[in-house]
Amino acid sequence: MPTFFVPLIRPEDLPTGAITPVSTEGRTLLIANVDGQYYAFPPECPHEGADLSRGRLDGAAIRCPNHQYLFGFPDGNLIESDDDACPPLTMFQLEEHDGTISLRVDL
Ligand code: FES
């Protein structure tokens, strides 16, 4: 199975505790740095679409700015909510490749 790496950001450009948007292949992803672990996910909350770039990191999880639901890393699972039917946050696979945090794509 071929694997491709799409470079997104250099580690030194994303300090611990930060979330930043990156654009690649015509879409925007958010990248979070939690103590040197990098996580990528879409900017839209899976609950009602709030902008997660305005959310805040809470340990290894992101809290939505709208209804305060908490989605955990690395799986995007719902940790806190008042709606058990809310789907998890989609997570993308990242890997450090050639000194860059990159999206890993397995075809
Ligand atoms: S829109 Fe994110 S928790 Fe409701």
Query: What is the residue extent of each domain of the chain?
Result: 3-106
Q: Which residues of the chain have pLDDT under 70?
A: none
For residue 84, the model assigns a pLDDT of: 84
Q: What are phi and psi of 64, to 5 degrees?
A: -70, 140
> Which is the closest atom of ligand 1 to the Cα of 45?
2
For residue 1, the model assigns a pLDDT of: 80
Q: In this structure, what token pair is assigned to residue 107?
A: 């075809």
Take atom 1 of ligand 1 and give the residue whose Cα is closest: 48
Distance CA 9, CA 26 (A): 16
Instruction: Write down the CATH superfamily of domain 3-106.
Output: Rieske [2Fe-2S] iron-sulphur domain (2.102.10.10)
Do 1 and 106 touch, CB atoms closer than 8 A? yes
Distance CA 74, CA 71 (A): 9
What would the pLDDT profile of 68-94 be if each residue is shown by its tens digit?
Answer: 999 999 999 999 999 889 999 999 999
> Which is the closest atom of ligand 1 to the Cα of 52?
2
Ligand 1 centroid, distance to 48 Cα (angstroms): 5
Closest-CA residue to 74 (of 64, 86, 87, 88): 88
For residue 107, the model assigns a pLDDT of: 86
Ligand 1 centroid, distance to 67 Cα (angstroms): 5
Q: For ligand 1, pick from 44, 64, 77 the residue to mutate: most ligand atoms within 8 Å of CB.
A: 64
For residue 106, the model assigns a pLDDT of: 87
